[in-house]
Structure 1
Amino acid sequence: MTSSWHTPATRTELIEDLVTGHRYNPSNVGILEDYLYHQIRAQEYDCMANLAILKLYQFNPELYNPDVVVNVLIKALTAVPGPDFNLCISLLDERPPIATLDEPDPLPSLLPALKGLHDFLYRCRFPAFWSVYRSEQSENLRDNYTVECVGFDDAIREVAIRAVKATFTKITKARLASYLDLPESDVDAYVEKLEWTTSGDVVNIPPNPDNQIEATVVQESIKLPQLAKVISPSAAKP
């Protein structure tokens, strides 16, 4: 899991060279930005490459592109509960408006919304996430950004599925539907793709290391010389 996060299989040799060998060269920012938009179109994800973009913006404020930053954060939302979103936020400076921008910077107005959506996902409040995401207050985010991110809704559903797999052995169809923002009538087809089973209105989650509670017996072996070191000082006292 860690190796695929650090070096995803979809990363090309060129991007690998930029990320690991020349990540602070400002002349590479255009290539990394193009790679981000490739990720958006191809439903791929490369956190380290996207962090390299934000680092270049941090070192070279004149390169700053707010639309790119918003898209980096959108892709990071799909990686919850990983640390990706917070890693990205840590590289965003408190910056004044950039004079070279042709239009007002959209990031200050979108950042609180993105942080709120991340918080809902991280705390597994999936119905609240969908409610806010579908609301009028998120219209700008949907109409100008996530609409371009191919498979965004399904990627968020994968976040919910990861949480369900780690938490439940059984869940009602109605509850799962609210987590996935799907009509209850569509849950059966979704569950079938996951190769899960159903029993009436209940979905059965296959056993996995996260959703199985097993008793653990811990045995400690203390050798006699070790015990003597503990006993002897107290034994020597009058």
Structure 2
Amino acid sequence: MVSASHWAQPPTRTELIENLVSGVDRYNPNNVGILEDYLYHQIRTEEYDCLANLAILKLYQFNPDLYNPDVVINILIKALTSSPFPDFNLCISLLDERTANPNADEPDPLPALLPILTSLHNLLQQCRFPAFWSLYRSEKAESLRDNYTVECVGFEDSVRGVVIRAVEGAFKRIGSERLSSYLNLDVGDVKEYVERLGWTVDGAGVISLPSNPDNQPVSTVVQENIQLSQLTKIITHSQVA
């Protein structure tokens, strides 16, 4: 799990980007090209910097002429796998409603892809992982795969990271077939995948997860200390009522 401090200030962020994100220059439209180049660096290297990407969307809000739908889609793709952080919703909140521009050289791909991206995000948030992969592999999402996520290095592994975080918090043991449907991997590949995580698989294909605070429920006993004077007031009040 990424810590809040790393989310706010990733160690891979350069001093130049830090100055653009944290200083008054974040509202300078002349810097949008630098931030867009930084986004594509994230796409190629599996790095991620939410605040820098939000700065791009804010510049698009203030300067509609700078709007680049491909950049917006790539920002949403990177935010998609940041669960459980609310990055995707933060990005959505900065998107303005746009009408089709009849003078544009090419149609805007965002209106068609935004509902798909939103559905994928919701399925991840709801831990409906097989449904996520079904939609992602569907013909409906073909344009998203062929034109965008194919360029995003490690996208599917990042989604699997979301799955693993959810499974770690909910299970102590899980069947290989069930986990394979969550990860969109063949059952034969699941064993190697989970062993890299330090999980063990028995002869029946049952995977055991290491204990952690989330998958180790601890019973608690709540004791209430009611004084006799308090009990007398309750009984008196009930008789009056």
Normalising by the residue count of structure 2, what TM-score does the alignment of the two structures yield?
0.89
Q: 2:8 aligns with which of 3, 6, 9?
A: 6
| Alignment check: 8 A CA contact 1:110 1:141 kept | yes
- Residue aligning to 2:168: 165
Normalising by the residue count of structure 1, what TM-score does the alignment of the two structures yield?
0.90
Deviation string 1:80-100 (CA, Å, 9 cap, x unpaired) is 221010010000011223467
Distance in 2, Cα, partners of 1:53 & 1:196: 40
- Residue aligning to 1:15: 17
| Alignment check: 8 A CA contact 1:126 1:180 kept | yes
Distance in 2, Cα, partners of 1:81 & 1:124: 11
Distance in 1, Cα, partners of 2:94 & 2:125: 20
- Residue aligning to 1:193: 196
Matched pairs, number = 230
| Alignment check: 8 A CA contact 1:166 1:210 kept | yes
Letter in 2 for 1:78: T
Distance in 1, Cα, partners of 2:185 & 2:145: 18
Could you say what secondary structure the match of 2:121 adopts?
helix
Unaligned 5+ segments in structure 2 are 237-241
Q: Kindly report which structure 2 residues correspond to 1:70-219, keeping only aligned pairs within 5 A, or say none.
A: 70-98=73-101, 101-200=104-203, 201-217=205-221
Could you say what secondary structure the match of 1:171 adopts?
strand
Letter in 2 for 1:36: L
Question: Sequence identity of aligned pairs in percent?
Answer: 67
Distance in 2, Cα, partners of 1:5 & 1:99: 39
| Alignment check: 8 A CA contact 1:62 1:100 kept | no
Unaligned 5+ segments in structure 1 are none
- Residue aligning to 1:46: 49
